Amino acid sequence: MPRLAALAPTLGLALAACLVALPLRAHEFWIEPEAWQVAPDEVIAARLINGQEFDGIELSAATATPVRAEAIRDDSAVALDPRGTDKPAIAFRPAGPGLTTLLYQTDHMVVIYDTLADFASFAESKGADWAVGRHREAGLREETIFEAYARFAKALVAVGDGAGADALRGMEIELVAETNPYTDPTDGGVDVRLFYRGAPLADTLVTVFDRAPDGTVETRETLTDAKGRASVAVTPGHDYLVDAVVIREPAEAIAQAHRAVWESVWASLTFSVPE
């Protein structure tokens, strides 16, 4: 079973126990606004969540250390200042009406896999079956495998009329909504596009979590096309978490800093579709 390491010292034992007790499949990280649509004079409050199947545990900035946290409307970005153990981690007054993108990038953390089989379970669930063969070819140890990971999360909130568009915001891995779920027709789905280091990422697994008002969650998987695009079928009144992961061999600095032989970078995008 994978074990978490290099967590902030304020991480409670209950949280650590819950994370370790979950199955081997990966834990997603996402931004969940308390309200997906707000009036221009209302506060936008959003939680940081780590979990599975669109359900999990709320984190603070102390346990998900931010490298970058912003609210973006059109081309105007406002730096957010998540502090310590505050929950929700994000709370601010929007500058005006329009589609607002919340962005949160974490520092690296580490997970330890007890066996190669444990790492293989994770890698295969994210479409990176090749990684196990590469691990063996490199002659790496097959017990106590360190993997460093970082999160790149976005959420879409409609302020007032919610007009506007999401765009590429310069994160290393990033999901961009090419459909505004609050103002555009969604009968044909919400189109998203996956970018990695600024370029569209083709033939990559994308996982969609579709949560109904009663809390029921349906999970679907698809691959991005040659231009990095995927279409998310949506239902009015439902919330959505879209997730994609790149697993790679770490740069030397990451390997040395975290004793890591593997690294993963995670993109998530959350939004809701109005009834």
Instruction: For residue range 187-210, list pLDDT tens digits in order.
Output: 999 999 999 999 999 999 999 999
Q: How far apart are CA 83 and CA 85, in angstroms?
A: 6
Contacts with 167 (C-beta within 8 Å, 6 or more apart), sequence order: 176
pLDDT tens digit string along 85-123? 999 999 999 989 999 999 999 999 999 999 999 999 999
Output the average pLDDT for the chain.
92
DSSP code string of 56-102: EEEE-TTTS-EEEEEEEETTEEEE----TT-SSSEEE--SSSEEEEE
Which sequence spans correspond to the domains of the chain?
3-162+245-272
Q: How far apart are CA 34 and CA 89, in angstroms?
A: 11
Q: Rounded to 5 degrees, what are φ and ψ at 13?
A: -65, -35
Residue 156 near residue 268, CB atoms below 8 Å: no
The whole model's pTM is what? 0.91
N-to-C CA span, the chain:
41
Report the length, in residues, of the chain.
275
pLDDT tens digit string along 44-65? 999 999 999 999 999 999 999 9
Residue 220 is which amino acid?
R
So what's the pLDDT on residue 232? Answer: 99
